[in-house]
Structure 1
Amino acid sequence: MIQTLIEQLNTMAENLVASIPAIVIALIIILLTAVIAKSATRISKKLIGKTELRPSLRNLLDTLVRLGVWVTGMMIAGIVVFPNFSPSSLIAGLGIGAVAIGFAFQDFFENFLAGVMIMLRDKMQIGDVIKTGDIHGTIEFISLRESHIRAFSGELHVLPNSQLFKDPVEIVTDLKERRYELVIGVAYDTDLNRASEVIRASLESCDLINAERDIYVLADAFNSSSVDFIVRWWAASSGAASALNRDQAVRAIKHGLDEAGIEIPYPQVTNTFKGRLQLEQSSAEDAAGAS
C-alpha cells in the first residue's frame, strides 16, 4: 500500500515537472492577454470617442472588448496546459453544471444582464438626475454590476443594477425644462381676478422662470382660511435654476401681493355658540368698579 502511494506520488511529480514548460507558456499567454486587453480597450476608446455614442454605451463596448480578449486568452492558456481541452468540452461542462452555476451566481448574472439593459436604454444616462425610492441624485457611473448615484447632499449611493432596472425610476432631467408647482392662499375678501394678475406678473418678472411658456394661476380650492391658487410654471430641470427658481418665485409672489395689499392669511378658527354667552366680571374687576 505504501509502495503504491509512493509510485503515485512519483508519477504526479513527473507529470508536474513535464508540464512546467506548458504552465510557463500559459502564464506568458495570460500576461500577453493583459497587455492586449489594455491596448484593445485603449484603441476602442479612441475609435468610439470619434462617434456620438452615449457614455453608457461606450462603457458597455469597452467592457465587452476587454471581456472578449480575456476569454480568448484564457481559453488559449487552458489549451496549452490541458491539450485535451477544447471549447466544445467547455460548453459541455457548462451544460452539465448550468443549474448549479445559475443558483450560485444568480445575483451576479441578474445584475450583469440588468446592467447591459440599462446601458442599452435610450433614457437614464450618466449625468441625469433621478429619483428612485428614497434616493435622489445624479448618476455618476454605470457598470455591468452596479450604478453610482451621487445625492445632492454629497453621499454616494451604490445600487445593484437589478434594483435600478426593476424599481420605478423618475428621470428629472429627461427634458431640459420641467414644470414646477406652488400653492398660494389669499383671503376670502380678495378679488380673485386681481390676485391672479398680480401672481402672474410676479412670476413673469423672475429671470429663472421661462416666461415664454404658459404660466398657470388656477383657483383650486376653498380652504379653511383662504382661497387657494395652484401656480404652475416652467424652468430648467438641472443646474442652479432647478433649485433657485422656486425660491425666486416665492419671494416675487410675496412681494407682489404685499405691494397690491392682498393678504396671505394665517389659519383662522371661527367659534360659533348656539346660545347667548354671559360674561362675568372677576372679583378684581368688581372691586375696581365699586371704587
Structure 2
Amino acid sequence: MDLLTNLDSFLNRPFISQITFFDLFSVGIILIIAIVAPTLIQKYIKRGLGDKLDHSNVELASTLIRYLIYIFAFLLILPFLHLDLSGLFVAGGIIALALAFAAQNIVSNFISGIFLMIERPIKTGDTVIIGSTWATVQTIQMMSTIVRGFDGIYIRIPNSKLFTSEITNLVINPARRFEYTIGIRYKDDAGKAIAIIRELIDKQPYALKSPGPSVYVDKLDDSSVNLMVRVWAPSLFWWGLRTELLWKIKVELEKNGIQIPFPQRELWFNNILKTDMKTVKAPPIKDIPYQEIEPQSKIGKPKPGETHDW
C-alpha cells in the first residue's frame, strides 16, 4: 500500500504549474499511440484491401486516417495540459474566421482528394489528358496530384482543380482503337491493297482479333483512293503498334508496286489554241562614240540663237 501511495503521490505531484507527472505520462502514451497507430493501420489496409484498391487510393486512405488520428490525439492531450481556453474563445472565433478564409483552398483541395479517392477516375500509372495536358499519373496525394508530361516535365495539380477539370483516361479501357487514312493511286488495285494490309495486321501479335480490324475504301479523293484502316490493340501497347504498323504498311505496299500518290492537276482545253507569232526586227540603234560627247560644263551655256548639233 505504501508503494502505491507513494506512486500516486509522485504522479500527482505538480511538474510545471498544474501539470503533473501523470499528465506527462498520459501525454506521452497518447503521442506514442498517435505515431504507431497510423503505421499499423496502413499495413492492415495494404494487406486487407491491397487487391481491391489501387495503390494511390490505399495511400490516400492511409493519409486521411493518419490526419484524423493526429487531430483526435491533439484533442485528447489538451485536458492534460490544463490550459484555460475560455479567454481565447472570442479571439479564437475571430482567428478561426480569418483562418477559414485563408485556408479555404487547402480545405477544398483536401475534400477534393477524398472525393477522388471515392470516385477513382484515375490511378497511378494511368495515361490521361487533363485539359490540354497529356501526362502519366505519378502520385495522388491528399492535397495535390503529381503527373509527368510526355516531355518528362513533372506537374503538380491541386486536387480541387483536378476534380473540376475534364479528365480523359486513355488506359482505363483495356483495349483502344487507332485508325489510318492511306491513299493509293487510281490505277492501283484497291482490293489487292486491302488484302496486303489485312495480312500484315494479322501478323501483328498485339492487334486484337475481337474486336477485329477493318480495312475498306473510305473515299474517292481528287488524286487518290483513300483506304480506312482501323485496328484495336491493348491500351498498354497501343502507341507502339500504331507507330510501327504504319511504316510496315508503307513498305509492304511499295514492294507490291502500289504507290502513295501526290496531288496532281491535269489541264485540258476543248479548243486547240492557235498562235501567230511574227518576228519583228528592231530598227538599228545609232551608236554615239563616247569621245564625241562632251560634258556641258566645258561647252558652257548656249548663246541666244545658237544651237548645237549633237
- Residue 304 (structure 2) aligns with: none
> Which is richer in helix?
1
Change (3 A) 1:194 1:96: same
Work out whether 1:182 is the aligned partner of 2:180.
yes
Letter in 1 for 2:242: R
Change (3 A) 1:34 1:192: farther
- Residue 50 (structure 1) aligns with: 47
Displacement after TM superposition at 1:117 (Å): 0.8
Letter in 2 for 1:143: Q
Counterpart among 254, 259, 263 of residue 263 in structure 1: 259
Displacement after TM superposition at 1:65 (Å): 2.1
1:193-231 deviations in Å (ceiling 9; x for gaps): 332222212211222322453111132223332122221
- Residue 158 (structure 2) aligns with: 160
Q: Distance in 1 between matches of 2:146 and 2:202?
A: 38
1:20-52 deviations in Å (ceiling 9; x for gaps): 564999888776555433311211122112223
- Residue 208 (structure 2) aligns with: 210
Change (3 A) 1:122 1:269: same
What secondary structure sits across from 1:131 in the alignment?
strand
1:81-129 deviations in Å (ceiling 9; x for gaps): 354559xx99999887775444222211111111111111243111211
Counterpart among 34, 38, 43 of residue 35 in structure 2: 38
Structure 1, unmatched stretches of 5+, are: 1-16, 284-291
Q: How many residues align?
A: 262
Q: Distance in 1 between matches of 2:266 and 2:230?
A: 31
Aligned pairs (5 A) from 1:108-187: 108-187=106-185
- Residue 288 (structure 1) aligns with: none
TM-score of the two chains, using structure 1 as the length reference = 0.75
- Is the 2:34–2:73 Cα contact (8 Å) retained in structure 1? no
- Is the 1:41–1:66 Cα contact (8 Å) retained in structure 2? yes
- Is the 1:19–1:81 Cα contact (8 Å) retained in structure 2? no
Aligned pairs (5 A) from 1:73-112: 73-85=73-85, 100-112=98-110
Change (3 A) 1:141 1:213: same
Displacement after TM superposition at 1:259 (Å): 2.9
Displacement after TM superposition at 1:181 (Å): 1.3
Displacement after TM superposition at 1:254 (Å): 1.3
Displacement after TM superposition at 1:184 (Å): 0.8
Work out whether 1:244 is the aligned partner of 2:248.
no
Structure 2, unmatched stretches of 5+, are: 1-13, 280-310
What secondary structure sits across from 1:50 in the alignment?
helix
Q: Distance in 2 between matches of 1:189 and 1:54?
A: 55
1:171-203 deviations in Å (ceiling 9; x for gaps): 111022211111111112333333222221221
TM-score of the two chains, using structure 2 as the length reference = 0.71
Query: Which of structure 1's runs of 4+ aligned residues deviate more than 6 A?
Result: 23-31, 89-98, 278-281
Letter in 2 for 1:136: W
- Residue 61 (structure 2) aligns with: 61
- Residue 233 (structure 2) aligns with: 235
Change (3 A) 1:192 1:85: same
Displacement after TM superposition at 1:242 (Å): 2.9
